[in-house]
A = this chain, B = another copy of it.
Amino acid sequence: MATEIERKFLVRGEGWRQAAPLEIRQGYLNRDKQRTVRVRITGARAYLTVKGMPKGLARPEFEYEIPLADAEQMLSLCEGPLLEKRRHVVNHAGTTWEVDEFLGENAGLIVAEVELEDERQSFERPDWLHTEVTDDPRYLNSNLSMHPYARW
């Protein structure tokens, strides 16, 4: 198991945009807060990921790479609409940011995430970073497919 510690922000401007983002499609086999089970296809690779209940910024996470063909079929078993997004991976002052540009019913939403070693770790803020939304459950990907940004 890994423990995922991350902080999440809205962005402004275009400074985060990369030329060749990763295309991500994902769905949920469970979207309860206590346990999410996610199927994700990123380019030619696929993953099955179990996450537990968030405790503060930390969240238990178990991720397994699975065959792409399995994931394609498993996406059809998922609850509700799939989530599609383009991930821009940005290095800024030694920190890696994942900036997700959502598509479909979540178009217009752009969220930057940073994964930390521990909850108090400091990092340099890029100038395109805007409001922090770490604690707002609306921004959980497991909520965005059922309650997309277009309907907020």
Q: Report which A residues bind B (CB closer than 8 A).
A: 1, 29-30, 32, 34-35, 37, 48, 50, 52-53, 60, 62, 64, 66, 69-70, 73-74, 77-79
With A35-B29, A48-B48, A50-B29: A66-B77 Cβ-Cβ less than 8 Å: no
User: In the bound complex, do residue B66 and residue A62 qualify as a contact, i.e. CB atoms below 8 Å apart?
Assistant: yes
Interface-central residue, A74, A77, A78, by most chain B CB under 10 Å: A77
Smallest CB gap from A70: residue in B: B62
Complex formed: what's the CA distance from A20 to B131 in Å? 60
Are A64 and B77 in contact (CB-based, < 8 A)?
no
Residues B50 and A74 in contact, CB atoms below 8 Å apart: yes
Given the complex of chains A and B, what is the CA–CA distance between A32 and B34 in angstroms?
15
Whether B52 pairs with A64 at a CB distance below 8 angstroms is no
Distance of A66 Cα from B37 Cα, bound (Å)? 15
Hey, which chain B residues are within 8 Å of A62, CB to CB? 66, 70, 73-74
Listed A/B pairs (16) with beta-carbon separation below 8 Å? A29-B30, A29-B35, A30-B30, A32-B79, A35-B77, A35-B78, A48-B48, A48-B50, A52-B77, A60-B73, A60-B77, A62-B66, A62-B70, A62-B73, A62-B74, A64-B66
